[in-house]
Amino acid sequence: MTGAPALTGTHREIQALAREFAEGEIAPHAGDWNRDHHVPVDLVRRMGALGLLGITVPEAYGGAGLDYTALCVVMEEIARADAGVSVAVAVQNGLAQQPILHHGSEAQKAEWLPLLAAGELLGAYALTEPDAGSDAAALRTRAEAEGDGGWRISGAKMWITNGGFADVFVVFARTGAGSRGISAFVTRTGPGLVVGKDIPKLGLHTSSTVELTFDGMRVGPEAMLGAPGEGLRVALATLDGGRITIAAQACGIARAALELAVEYAGQRTAFGGPIARFQGVQFPIADVAARLDAARLLTLHAAALRDAGRPHTVEGAKAKLVASRVAVDAADMCVQVLGGYGYSAEFPAERLYRDAKITEIYEGTSEIQRVVIARGLLGDAARG
């Protein structure tokens, strides 16, 4: 991994495993899957047998027992082959598992983590709503207490990744007033949960994104993650880690675009030789290469802080802000280098161009990342 801090032997082993799987099982089919809007759920489940769906889950719960750095190197390899598939990997390893791993009871960990790590169950994270995206504290979905300690959940969620095929949902619902009146729950699909059709998207055509409707869905008292009212804290802590994995995804997209542009520039001839001899081609490629290494370093630095148990909120925001911009610019550069072929669906450049944009939006928009970074620097003065 060019420009990255030294990785351990274990990191390199799982990186090689992910690369082999991505190059052999994902990349050859990515073009067809994206054209057909096919979500390869069976392939995602198969990753569980390779240890790619429970990377940070301790071995005691059936996972690989590795760290966030390992998750990042896996994410980059999968995203390099297909960004949509990498989203499913990110959600499974991050948004679906981390709330349970860090905030669940021992019983919840024992019940859910082994099945999620093995790919026997696939998970989703239900936080965003039609009117509550960046402002997560404004969510309206409600969980009404019942006499036996259970809850009935009613409301709507939007833009739920993996939602079309998930078996398990981490759901955030209002159990009281204000930001401290939000609680987290983990539950299987069941009566009262209506999964909408996949939402048409600009990119990520191999990823499932749906709207959910909760129509009085009943969950037992054992479904609550953490204490009542701790849901927003759980959600934000989970997103801190999710931003790092999306930064790694962005690095994978940027790397795929860079490699394609380099290969094409060396083969395409014009005016008596390869176009790689022109500075108008060389300089954009060089700029992306340098910025990609910087983005990867930021990403691995944030992952290392998380692995060490140190604060990483601002560092994760920096990594996602920089990496997502590099992904967008790298894809744009790739389309430009390939010219008409870059605009053609017969080459992956246009797919990379469409897939890259979402990295500046989900897991917190670039504007939100700037807010996080600024508040880290300026403290209360930045809050107005």
Is 380's pLDDT higher than 80? yes
Candidates 191, 186, 181; CA nearest to 215 is 191
Active site residues: 363
Name, in order, each residue with C-beta under 8 angstroms of 226's C-beta and a sequence gap of 6 or more.
103, 104, 183, 184, 233, 234
> Model confidence over 25-47: pLDDT tens digits?
999 999 999 999 999 999 999 99
Residue ranges of the chain that CATH labels 1.20.140.10: 233-382
Determine what percent of the chain is predicted with pLDDT higher than 70. Answer: 98
Both tokens of 35, joined, read: 């054209």
Domain 123-229: state its class: mainly beta
Residue 142 is which amino acid?
Answer: R
Residue 111 burial (10 A CB sphere; 0-12, 13-18, 19+): middle
Residue 254 tokens read as 């940027």
pLDDT interval class at 5 (50, 70, 90): low
Sequence-separated (6 or more) residues with CB below 8 Å from residue 11: 69, 70, 73
CB atoms within 10 A of CB 114: 17
Residues of the chain with CATH 2.40.110.10: 123-229
Beta-carbon count within 10 A of 347 CB:
18
Q: How far apart are the C-alpha atoms of 185 and 163, rounded to whole Å?
A: 16
Could you tell me which CATH class the domain 9-118 is placed in?
Answer: mainly alpha
- Measured from the Cβ of residue 280, the count of other Cβ atoms closer than 10 Å reads 9
Tokens of 128: 């965003």
SS3 of residue 122 by DSSP: coil
Write down the pLDDT at residue 347.
94
Region 268-277 average pLDDT: 95
Report the SS3 class of residue 169: strand
Residue by residue, DSSP assigns 304-369 as HHHHTT---HHHHHHHHHHHHHHHHHHHHHHHHHHTHHHHSTTSTHHHHHHHHGGGGTTTS-HHHH
Helices assigned H by DSSP within 56-105: 68-81, 83-90, 98-103
Provide the whole-model pTM.
0.94
Question: How far apart (Å, rounded) are the C-alpha atoms in residues 177 and 173?
Answer: 11
pLDDT above 90 covers a percentage of the chain that reads 93
In the predicted model, is pLDDT for residue 1 greater than 50? no
Rounded to whole angstroms, the maximal C-alpha distance in the chain is: 81
Rounded Cα–Cα distance for residues 287 and 281 (Å): 11
Mean pLDDT calculated for residue range 105-117: 97
CATH class of 233-382: mainly alpha
238-261: pLDDT as tens digits:
998 999 999 999 999 999 999 999
Query: How many residues are recorded in the chain?
Result: 384
